[in-house]
């Protein structure tokens, strides 16, 4: 099947990625503002319930059309992984600086790279292994174990990065069998269902302000994913990927100016190392993809 010809517009792609980064920083800022008044599972449930409402028309259409045989277990698995991931993320976001949550979150693509090698059998060449090593070293620079105390929030965000990464691998497998809209809509459904019993177990009264804030989280998260998708359609990943580092800069400024968090140069350095490694992996995969003029049927590399 011949891929459709698209016009690449790098500047527009960068602008869309900037919009995506700002949207996700807005998400982290709002969740940080909410603090620990609401349990993590309850906050995540309300956020995804709003998201499910936004996606209801798409979900109804997907369910009416039916899903391919054998995909329900994959949807359930992704729902379970994403349920754990978002709970870990909400818990961490309320307890450690915004910049640290953002920097550690950059490990998601590293987990995807390692998981693709283990699950899909993708080759992990020496240069990719070295890049992963640099990213993990960057994580150590951010955390600095032995130099400072590792808090439960740091451990929770590491758990979120791992669960998000594995969730994306399951999504990749699902995307081979169903549309992108179906993947997103079913994720919202399964995560909302998955979070419901945990939220019910710790439920506390919710104020109107908190509901509005979590609705805004759903809006900005949806906007962030939309902007990211547009960025990918306008420019190559090799152009848009490095722009994601600015999200750490904005998160650091947000933490310092709004929440009075100290600017930690080690967090910036470690985040830069992780993004540099991810950008290299992205560039290398693009080079290999161009070299494969006629990829074999069923190829999973890339």
Q: Does residue 215 lie in a domain region?
A: yes
Rounded CA separation 81/89 (Å)? 12
pLDDT-derived band at 290, boundaries 50, 70, 90: low
Rounded CA separation 260/17 (Å)? 27
* Confidence at residue 291, expressed as pLDDT on a 0 to 100 scale: 64
Number of domains in the chain: 1
Q: How open is the CA angle 22-15-26, to the nearest 5 degrees?
A: 5
For residues 280 and 207, the model is more confident at: 207
- pLDDT beyond 70 at 296: no
Sole residue written with tokens 């009416």? 64
95 near 262, Cβ under 8 Å?
A: no
* Confidence at residue 267, expressed as pLDDT on a 0 to 100 scale: 92
- pLDDT beyond 90 at 148: no
Q: What does the block give as tokens for 9?
A: 């517009």
* Confidence at residue 42, expressed as pLDDT on a 0 to 100 scale: 96
DSSP H or E segment with residue 142: helix 126-143
Sole residue written with tokens 């992780």? 274
Q: Does residue 14 lie in a domain region?
A: no
Q: Does residue 1 lie in a domain region?
A: no
* Domain around 279: 28-291
Q: Does residue 211 lie in a domain region?
A: yes
Q: Does residue 69 lie in a domain region?
A: yes
Rounded CA separation 91/87 (Å)? 6
Q: Does residue 139 lie in a domain region?
A: yes
* Confidence at residue 297, expressed as pLDDT on a 0 to 100 scale: 39
pLDDT tens digits, one per residue of 38-74: 999 999 999 999 989 988 998 999 899 888 988 999 9
Q: Does residue 11 lie in a domain region?
A: no
Best CA proximity match to 168, nearest among 115, 223, 104, 236: 115
Please indicate, yes or no, whether the overall pTM of this predicted structure exceeds 0.85.
no
Which residues does residue 148 pair with via DSSP β-bridges, in sequence order? 145
- Please give the mean pLDDT across all residues of the chain: 85
pLDDT tens digits, one per residue of 82-134: 999 999 999 999 889 999 999 998 888 888 888 878 877 777 778 888 888 99
* Confidence at residue 289, expressed as pLDDT on a 0 to 100 scale: 66
User: Exposed, middle or buried, 110 (CB in 10 Å: 0-12/13-18/19+)?
Assistant: buried
- pLDDT beyond 50 at 277: yes
Q: Does residue 43 lie in a domain region?
A: yes
Q: In percent, how much of the chain has pLDDT > 70?
A: 92
Rounded CA separation 61/186 (Å)? 11
Distance of CA 297 to the CA centre of its chain: 29
Rounded CA separation 34/36 (Å)? 7
3-state secondary structure of 148: strand
DSSP H or E segment with residue 211: helix 208-234
């Amino acid at each position: 099947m011949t891929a459709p010809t698209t016009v690449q517009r790098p500047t527009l792609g960068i602008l869309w990625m900037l919009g995506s980064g700002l949207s996700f920083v807005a998400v982290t800022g709002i969740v940080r503002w909410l603090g620990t008044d609401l349990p993590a599972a309850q906050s995540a449930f309300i956020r995804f319930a709003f998201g499910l409402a936004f996606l209801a028309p798409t979900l109804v259409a997907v369910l009416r059309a039916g899903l391919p045989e054998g995909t329900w277990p994959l949807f359930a698995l992704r729902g379970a992984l994403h349920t754990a991931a978002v709970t870990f993320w909400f818990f961490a976001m309320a307890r450690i600086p915004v910049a640290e949550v953002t920097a550690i979150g950059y490990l998601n693509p590293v987990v995807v790279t390692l998981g693709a090698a283990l699950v899909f059998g993708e080759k992990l060449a020496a240069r990719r292994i070295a890049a992963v090593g640099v990213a993990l070293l960057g994580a150590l620079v951010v955390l600095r174990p032995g130099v400072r105390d590792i808090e439960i929030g740091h451990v929770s965000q590491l758990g979120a990065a791992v669960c998000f990464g594995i969730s994306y691998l399951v999504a990749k497998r699902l995307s081979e069998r169903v549309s992108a809209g179906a993947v997103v809509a079913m994720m919202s459904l399964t995560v909302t269902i998955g979070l419901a019993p945990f939220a019910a177990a710790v439920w506390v009264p919710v104020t109107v302000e908190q509901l509005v804030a979590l609705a805004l989280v759903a809006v900005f998260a949806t906007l962030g994913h939309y902007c990211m998708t547009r960025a990918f359609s306008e420019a190559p990943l090799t152009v848009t990927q490095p722009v994601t580092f600015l999200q750490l800069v904005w998160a650091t400024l947000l933490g310092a100016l709004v929440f009075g968090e100290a600017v930690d140069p080690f967090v910036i350095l470690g985040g830069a190392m992780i993004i540099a490694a991810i950008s290299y992996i992205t560039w290398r995969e693009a080079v290999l993809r161009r070299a494969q003029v006629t990829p074999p049927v069923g190829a999973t590399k890339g």
